[in-house]
């Protein structure tokens, strides 16, 4: 922040009793911010991206969109409406908007919360946001399972391929196999085909028949059913072969994807011996659903619970309150449910915050809140069904041979993790991490966390919840930014210090280890 460092470091935010900080400007955060501002609250939005929209409404930067426009996602009109309302509230000062800022921790100061932010690639200190209440709308990232060859260039996250397509208008290859589990894969395959890729197969480890287990939930969510059918029709038109109860169990190629092996899997996701067949492709887009982004919530002390999909999510009440006073959450942090649910919960949470500020339920929005609650119940039921259908079966662990890297950052193999479990007695992800460094690297276990938990637990543990570690800071922070937080150093001096090379890596001892 050249030239404005001292100003930028000054506390910002609604310190008044009517203050609300919304962390994240995806669908949930935006819906929450404009609704809270409609109620007269003083809202500060902090978002890591350059432009609002989160991952779902991720769009190319303006310069690029002008050169080559992309297809608008579904729901674009509703999003445009939210942006219009946001702009109006920013014009009156009701909403303050900090783009390109990441909240790395939140601390109590009396009745208020102090949100500490960093900005820029390196993690330079940004302004502190003082606020009475926090609404967490931190979204999700993709859940991954390891298998031989998944680190070869050309293997990309399914959501990652879509993100690169949305923001950069590029593809990882010409012939892209889409694999993993969950309805996102259908959307990704359709996007890739529309962008000109060949998608020879969509490989789904579960079976879509699982949804038929809950006809009433389906009946209450006709839009989800329609979307599934629409995607199915689009895939059929494009000649994409949908292979359910199947998984990519190996990727072939030295420094680049040349082919994949697709195997049939049983209901526990165990590969059926002899069923493997080779599919030629130059890229693989793979993912096993999404997992909530909880670093900040866990750091603040919010309770988590395990959802039907097997991943941890925040424990929330009907008013979207977390277990920590003054902290609400909306959208994916409460369990993966998609854009529709995020919009509903964002608005609902803002009404709940407003009701608390005013000291009781608000008559003028009572009808709206009732209908939002109905929509939330229906969509949460669908989310749980979706999670149960696509929850990785225990047999996926047979995909990873002992040489398969599980932790991509620290290059820790499944074999080393198994040794830690069977010979050293580790029975949870944290102990495995201490023995092997799995999950200790740059990404702080975001990519391998679920897999390490699954490899560490024994089947007798049943559905024992993976409890996320507290890992402060929630993102990389320059040492100079850390030093700047607790001192009254001359801003010029702090600015100078930030130019010293050597960023603090997440987890402190994780990144800069010297061999």
Partner 1 sequence: MIRIRVRTTAGSGGSAPGAGRPGGSAGSAGSAGAAGAAGPADSGAGFEFSFDGLPVRALPGQSIAAALWAAGVLSWRTTRLNGRPRGAFCGIGSCYDCLASVNGAPNNRACLVPARPGDTVTTQEGNGRAWLQE
Q: What residue ranges bind partner 1 (CB under 8 A)?
A: 48, 55, 60-65, 67-72, 121-122, 141-142, 151, 153-157, 159-165, 167-175, 194-197, 255-256, 280, 282-283, 293, 408-411, 441-443, 446-447, 501, 503, 511-515
Nearer to partner 1 (CB atom), residue 151 or residue 371? 151
Tokens at 183, concatenated: 């309805």
Rg, Å, the chain Cα set = 23
Rounded to the nearest 10 degrees, the angle between the axes of helix 339-358 and helix 27-38 is 30
Nearer to partner 1 (CB atom), residue 109 or residue 194? 194
Give me the least distance between CB of 327 and partner 1, in Å please. 22
Nearer to partner 1 (CB atom), residue 45 or residue 474? 474
Nearer to partner 1 (CB atom), residue 5 or residue 198? 198
Which residue do the tokens 């977390």 mark?
322
Which residue do the tokens 């699982």 mark?
210
| DSSP code at position 71 | P
The torsion angles phi and psi of 44, rounded to 5 degrees, stand at: -120, 125
Give me the least distance between CB of 54 and partner 1, in Å please. 10
- Residue 164's Cβ-count burial label (10 Å; 0-12, 13-18, 19+) is middle
Give me the least distance between CB of 73 and partner 1, in Å please. 11
CA 335 to each of CA 135, 286, 312, 477: distance values in angstroms, whole numbers, following the listed order: 15, 21, 8, 28
Of all helices (H) and strands (E), which one includes residue 300? helix 295-300
Where would I find the beta strands (DSSP E) of 409-495?
412-413, 477-478
Nearer to partner 1 (CB atom), residue 190 or residue 385? 190
Give me the least distance between CB of 277 and partner 1, in Å please. 18
How many C-beta atoms surround the C-beta of residue 256 within 10 A? Answer: 12
Q: What's the distance, Cα to Cα, between the start and end of the chain in Å?
A: 34
Give me the least distance between CB of 119 and partner 1, in Å please. 12
Give me the least distance between CB of 215 and partner 1, in Å please. 31
Give me the least distance between CB of 43 and partner 1, in Å please. 25
Rounded to the nearest 10 degrees, the angle between the axes of helix 222-237 and helix 184-194 is 40
Give me the least distance between CB of 228 and partner 1, in Å please. 18
| 202, β-bridge pairs | 178, 242
Which residue do the tokens 């092996």 mark?
261
CB distance 23 to 101 below 8 Å? no
Nearer to partner 1 (CB atom), residue 141 or residue 396? 141
Q: Which of 424, 400, 399 is nearest to 414 (CA)?
A: 400
> CA-CA distance, 472 to 481, in Å (whole number)?
14
Nearer to partner 1 (CB atom), residue 381 or residue 443? 443
Q: Residue count of the chain, please give it.
A: 515
- Residue 214's Cβ-count burial label (10 Å; 0-12, 13-18, 19+) is middle
Give me the least distance between CB of 269 and partner 1, in Å please. 22
Nearer to partner 1 (CB atom), residue 43 or residue 339? 339
Give me the least distance between CB of 151 and partner 1, in Å please. 7
Nearer to partner 1 (CB atom), residue 62 or residue 317? 62
Nearer to partner 1 (CB atom), residue 221 or residue 413? 413
Give me the least distance between CB of 191 and partner 1, in Å please. 9
Give me the least distance between CB of 188 and partner 1, in Å please. 11
Which residue do the tokens 């049943």 mark?
462
Which residue do the tokens 């959208």 mark?
331
Buried b (16+ CB within 10 A) or exposed e, 345-377: bbbbbbbbbbbebeeeeeeebeeebeebeebbe
> CA-CA distance, 207 to 247, in Å (whole number)?
11
Q: Is the dihedral of CA 183, 185, 191, 196 positive or negative?
A: negative
Nearer to partner 1 (CB atom), residue 454 or residue 505? 505
Nearer to partner 1 (CB atom), residue 273 or residue 501? 501
């Amino acid at each position: 922040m050249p030239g404005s460092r001292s100003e930028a470091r000054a506390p910002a935010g609604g310190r008044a009793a009517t203050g609300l900080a919304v962390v994240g400007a995806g669908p949930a955060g935006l819906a929450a911010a404009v609704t809270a501002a409609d109620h007269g609250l003083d809202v500060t939005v902090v978002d890591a991206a350059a432009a609002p929209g989160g991952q779902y409404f991720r769009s190319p930067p303006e310069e690029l969109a002008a050169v080559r426009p992309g297809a608008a996602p579904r729901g674009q009109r509703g999003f445009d409406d939210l942006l219009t309302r946001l702009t109006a509230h920013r014009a009156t000062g009701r909403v303050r908007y900090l783009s390109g800022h990441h909240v790395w921790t939140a601390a109590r100061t009396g009745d208020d919360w102090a949100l500490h932010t960093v900005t820029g690639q390196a993690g330079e200190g940004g302004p502190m946001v003082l606020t009475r209440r926090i609404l967490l709308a931190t979204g999700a990232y993709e859940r991954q399972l390891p298998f031989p060859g998944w680190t070869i260039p050309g293997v990309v996250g399914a959501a990652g391929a879509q993100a690169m397509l949305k923001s950069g208008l590029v593809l990882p290859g010409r012939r892209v196999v889409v694999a993993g589990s969950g309805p996102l894969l259908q959307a990704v395959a359709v996007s890739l085909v529309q962008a000109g890729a060949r998608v020879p197969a969509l490989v789904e480890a579960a079976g879509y028949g699982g949804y038929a287990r809950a006809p009433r939930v389906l009946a209450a969510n006709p839009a989800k059913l329609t979307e599934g059918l629409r995607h199915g029709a689009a895939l059929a038109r494009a000649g994409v072969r949908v292979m359910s109860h199947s998984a990519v169990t190996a990727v072939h190629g030295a420094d680049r994807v040349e082919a994949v092996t697709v195997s049939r899997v049983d209901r526990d996701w165990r590969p059926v011996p002899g069923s493997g067949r080779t599919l030629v492709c130059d890229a693989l887009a793979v993912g096993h659903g999404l997992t909530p982004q909880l670093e900040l919530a866990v750091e603040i002390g919010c309770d988590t619970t395990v959802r039907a999909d097997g991943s941890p999510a925040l424990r929330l009440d009907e008013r979207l309150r977390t277990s920590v006073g003054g902290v609400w959450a909306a959208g994916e942090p409460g369990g993966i449910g998609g854009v529709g649910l995020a919009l509903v919960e964002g608005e609902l949470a803002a009404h709940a915050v407003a009701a608390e500020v005013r000291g009781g339920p608000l008559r003028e929005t009572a009808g709206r809140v009732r209908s939002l609650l109905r929509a939330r119940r229906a969509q949460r039921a669908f989310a749980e069904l979706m999670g149960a259908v696509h929850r990785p079966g225990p047999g996926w662990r047979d995909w990873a041979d002992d040489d398969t890297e599980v932790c991509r950052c620290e290059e820790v193999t499944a074999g080393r993790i198994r040794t830690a479990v069977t010979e050293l007695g580790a029975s949870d992800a944290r102990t495995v991490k201490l023995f092997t460094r799995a999950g200790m690297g740059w990404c702080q276990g975001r990519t391998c966390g679920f897999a390490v938990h699954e490899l560490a637990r024994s089947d007798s543990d049943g559905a024992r919840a993976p409890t996320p570690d507290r890992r402060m800071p929630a993102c990389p922070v320059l040492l100079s930014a850390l030093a700047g937080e607790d001192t009254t150093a001359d801003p010029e001096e702090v600015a100078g210090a930030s130019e010293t090379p050597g960023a603090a890596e997440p987890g402190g001892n994780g990144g800069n280890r010297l061999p």
